[in-house]
Amino acid sequence: MIFSYKALILAVFPLATSVIGATLPLESRQTCTLTCGNVADSLPFIQSFSQSGSDHFYTTSTTENAQFAAKGYAPQGVAGRIFPTQEPGTVPFFRLFNAGWIDHTYTANQQLRSAEINITKPPYADDTIAGYVYLDGSCPGTIPLFWAFSTSITDSFFTTDLAEYDSAISSGVYNGQGIAAYIYPAA
Ligand SMILES: *[C@@H]1O[C@H](CO)[C@@H](O)[C@H](O)[C@H]1NC(C)=O
């Protein structure tokens, strides 16, 4: 049976076999063009902070960023770059909002999302999909997006800057929650 399948495949795809085997350089077979998104499609994940709500907010939408600025969120630059639409190898980065805490949080982890909605008190609610991110760092050029949470000011804070993450934790205000996703650097 194995022999006859092989004979059939070679009979049907003789040209394809020789082209793939002979002419593609090794390098092009090793790139992950099928499993990674195109970084050129990524958008800045714009960061702002509300002092009154002690709430970090992130969006790829300049329109939404302006709406939050009008509500008193101060600009804090760009946290990194994520995809506005789903690309190969990416998953949704869910944005949740806790109205009781005035806290926006973001997660690519479905179990965490469920727990934040169904277990955390007061509960988070689904807000939107903030964009699309990677669950690991296997795609070239991606870096960890760290997540810190403050129980004292009920704020979720995200940064790709490890020094900033460490200092948020050493300040005693935030607890390190680890890596929320892998994204592209801001610049
Ligand atoms: C929350 O719990 C309800 C009831 O068990 C369930 O139907 C729902 O899917 C859960 N929500 C999430 C986001 O997991």
Q: Could you give the dihedral angle defined by the CA atoms of residues 181, 68, 99 and 175, in that order, rounded to the nearest 10 degrees?
A: 40
pLDDT at residue number 29: 45
pTM of the model: 0.82
- Residue 124 CA to residue 127 CA, distance in Å, equals 9
Nearest by Cα to 39 from 154, 132, 168, 155: 132
Contact 28 CB / ligand 1 (< 6 Å): no
Q: Three-state DSSP class for 88? A: coil
Residue (of 90, 92, 60, 56) closest to 73 by Cα position: 56
Mean pLDDT for the chain overall: 87
What is the distance in A from the centroid of ligand 1 to the CA of 117? 8
The reply to whether ligand 1 has any atom less than 6 angstroms from the CB of 110 is: no
Q: Which atom of ligand 1 is nearest to the CA of 118?
A: 1
Whether 27 has a pLDDT exceeding 50, the answer reads no
Instruction: Indicate left, alpha or beta for 89 from its phi (over 0: left) and psi (-120 to 50: alpha).
Output: left
Closest CA to 156 of 129, 187, 110, 116: 116
Q: How far is the C-alpha of 116 from the C-alpha of 121, rounded, in Å?
A: 8
CB 155 within 8 A of CB 103: yes
With the C-alpha atoms ordered 21, 27, 29, 30, is the resulting torsion angle positive or negative? positive
Which is more confident, 39 or 14? 39
Contact 141, 88 (CB under 8 A): no
pLDDT digits (tens, 9 = 90+) for 47-64: 999 999 999 999 999 999
Residue 145 exposure: Cα atoms within 13 Å on the Cβ side: 29
Stated length of the chain = 187
pLDDT value, residue 31: 53
CB 95 within 8 A of CB 129: yes
pLDDT digits (tens, 9 = 90+) for 71-129: 999 999 999 999 999 999 999 999 999 999 999 999 999 999 999 999 999 999 999 99
Q: What is the mean pLDDT of residues 149-155?
A: 98
pLDDT at 177 over 70: yes
Which band of pLDDT confidence, cut at 50, 70 and 90, is reported for residue 34? Answer: low
Q: Which residue CA neighbors atom 5 of ligand 1 most closely? A: 118
